[in-house]
């Protein structure tokens, strides 16, 4: 029996077509499934390629008796119960670095959108208004930028911003040495005290869940902005909403949230000093091709050559 591979969260069409042409694998013909469709096919599934929409939890793992491999088409694997996968002998892998440039660029795009109020100005002019004086913004040049998390994406952000001559501060317990002379390692507290722009690039772990709460937000300068294109749960949303409502900080740019999709009644939607995007960090054509290529290669290596690439352990 050929291994059945299912791609429930969507996939680059061209790469999905290439995957389907692999005669030694059985590829489920749809590349985007509803939760109900996924549950129906899971008992026969040997391999899953998921993005952020599907959560691999106890309910799904109980159904997926034949499952051998879950590949996260991206880097973060917090939507996979890795401990339970280990118990059930299901291997977990990701595609490190494939979407890093897109995520870094999106964080920078949010910085500019908040500083220059571009989304508000766009909405205003679409309404037929011309409120030039209302949307006076700020430059990024020469500002102090604090990066909380200095892995692949954080370092890419720093490199891409160097043309703007910023002062870069970073904090990361896993990065001891940095070969970038313009980046200085410091504490998270010092970043929140001194940075004009704080951008979060930390993975979601017990230590980082709700890490950015009122204690850290209270340290921020009233002119500072917060950018989060990492994981929504890193920020205590209610604390941030309060600070934005009370104008204790200048603004925020958010691509990720505690619960996604964002609740239609969320207070974020009432604020004029926040820019919101629907988890677009990896949503570029280029990133999806790179991620897809890695996934296709990893599936073939695992099921056809018995090699596990980019394993993520619990």
Q: Are residues 123 and 266 in the same domain?
A: yes
For residue 52, what pLDDT is reported?
85
Tell me the catalytic residues.
Answer: 231, 260, 279
Does the pLDDT at position 249 exceed 90? yes
Work out the mean pLDDT of the chain and round it to a whole number: 95
**Number of domains the chain is built from:** 2
Q: Are residues 109 and 181 in the same domain?
A: yes
For residue 179, what pLDDT is reported?
83
Assess if residue 310 is contained within a domain: no
Query: Domain range for residue 52?
Result: 4-98+285-305
How far is residue 74's CA from residue 295's CA, in Å, rounded to a whole number? 9
Report the pLDDT averaged over residues 126-134.
95
Interior angle at CA 142, CA 141 and CA 145, nearest 5: 95
Report the pLDDT averaged over residues 142-168.
96
For residue 314, what pLDDT is reported?
85
Does the pLDDT at position 251 exceed 90? yes
String of DSSP letters for 188-239: HHHHHHH-SEEEE-PPP-TTTTT-BSHHHHTTS-TT-EEEE-S-GGGB-HHH
Q: Are residues 58 and 183 in the same domain?
A: no
Q: Are residues 204 and 129 in the same domain?
A: yes
Kind of pairing between the strands at 47-50 and 4-6: parallel
The verdict on pTM exceeding 0.85 is: yes
For residue 12, what pLDDT is reported?
85
Cβ contacts of 136 within 8 Å, gap of 6 or more: none
Report the pLDDT averaged over residues 183-212.
96
How far is residue 313's CA from residue 12's CA, in Å, rounded to a whole number? 27
- Work out the percent of the chain whose per-residue pLDDT is above 70: 100
Q: Are residues 269 and 293 in the same domain?
A: no
- Work out the percent of the chain whose per-residue pLDDT is above 90: 89
For residue 177, what pLDDT is reported?
79
Q: Are residues 126 and 196 in the same domain?
A: yes
How far is residue 219's CA from residue 94's CA, in Å, rounded to a whole number? 35
Confidence class for position 214, pLDDT limits 50, 70, 90: very high
Does the pLDDT at position 107 exceed 90? yes
Q: Are residues 59 and 112 in the same domain?
A: no
pLDDT digits (tens, 9 = 90+) for 23-63: 999 999 999 999 999 999 999 999 999 998 899 999 999 99
Residue 243, classed as helix, strand or coil, is helix
Does the pLDDT at position 196 exceed 90? yes
- How far are the Cα atoms of 119, 184, 223 from residue 108, in angstroms, in the given order? 15, 19, 18
Q: Are residues 210 and 69 in the same domain?
A: no
Assess if residue 44 is contained within a domain: yes
Task: Lowest mean pLDDT of 95-104, 107-116, 138-147, name the range.
Answer: 95-104
Cβ contacts of 312 within 8 Å, gap of 6 or more: 72, 77, 80, 82, 92, 93, 94
- How far are the Cα atoms of 70, 156, 261 from residue 5, in angstroms, in the given order? 10, 33, 27
> Which H or E element spans position 148?
strand 144-148
Identify whether 39 is preceded by a cis peptide bond (ω within 30 of 0).
Answer: no
Report the pLDDT averaged over residues 67-95.
95
For residue 75, what pLDDT is reported?
85
- Give the CATH number of the domain where residue 24 resides: 3.40.50.720
How far is residue 291's CA from residue 138's CA, in Å, rounded to a whole number? 35
Q: Are residues 173 and 262 in the same domain?
A: yes
């Amino acid at each position: 029996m050929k291994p059945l591979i299912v791609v429930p969260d969507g996939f680059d069409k061209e790469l999905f077509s290439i995957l389907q042409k692999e005669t030694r694998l059985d590829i489920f013909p749809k590349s985007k499934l509803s939760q109900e469709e996924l549950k129906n096919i899971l008992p026969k599934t040997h391999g899953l390629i998921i993005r952020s929409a599907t959560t691999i939890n106890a309910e799904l793992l109980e159904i997926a008796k034949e499952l051998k491999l879950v590949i996260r088409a991206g880097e973060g694997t917090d939507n996979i119960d890795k401990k339970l996968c280990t118990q059930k002998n299901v291997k977990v892998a990701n595609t490190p670095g494939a979407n890093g440039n897109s995520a870094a660029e999106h964080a920078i795009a949010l910085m500019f959108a908040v500083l220059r109020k571009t989304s508000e100005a766009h909405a205003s002019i679409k309404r037929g208004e011309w409120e030039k004086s209302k949307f006076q913004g700020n430059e990024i040049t020469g500002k102090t930028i604090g990066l909380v998390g200095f892995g692949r994406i954080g370092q890419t952000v720093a490199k891409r911003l160097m043309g703007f001559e910023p002062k870069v501060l970073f904090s990361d317990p896993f990065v001891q040495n940095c070969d970038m002379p313009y980046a200085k390692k410091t504490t998270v507290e010092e970043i929140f005290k001194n940075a004009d722009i704080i951008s979060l690039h930390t993975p979601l772990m017990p230590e980082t869940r709700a890490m950015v709460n009122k204690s850290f937000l209270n340290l921020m300068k009233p002119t500072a902005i917060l950018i989060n294109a990492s994981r929504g749960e890193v920020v205590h949303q209610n604390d941030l909403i309060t600070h934005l409502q009370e104008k204790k900080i200048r603004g925020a740019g958010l691509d990720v949230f505690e619960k996604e999709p964002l609740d239609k009644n969320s207070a974020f939607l009432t604020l004029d000093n926040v820019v919101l995007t629907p988890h677009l960090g990896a949503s570029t054509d280029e990133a999806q091709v790179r991620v897809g290529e890695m996934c296709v290669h990893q599936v073939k290596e695992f099921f056809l050559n018995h090699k596990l690439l980019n394993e993520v352990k619990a």
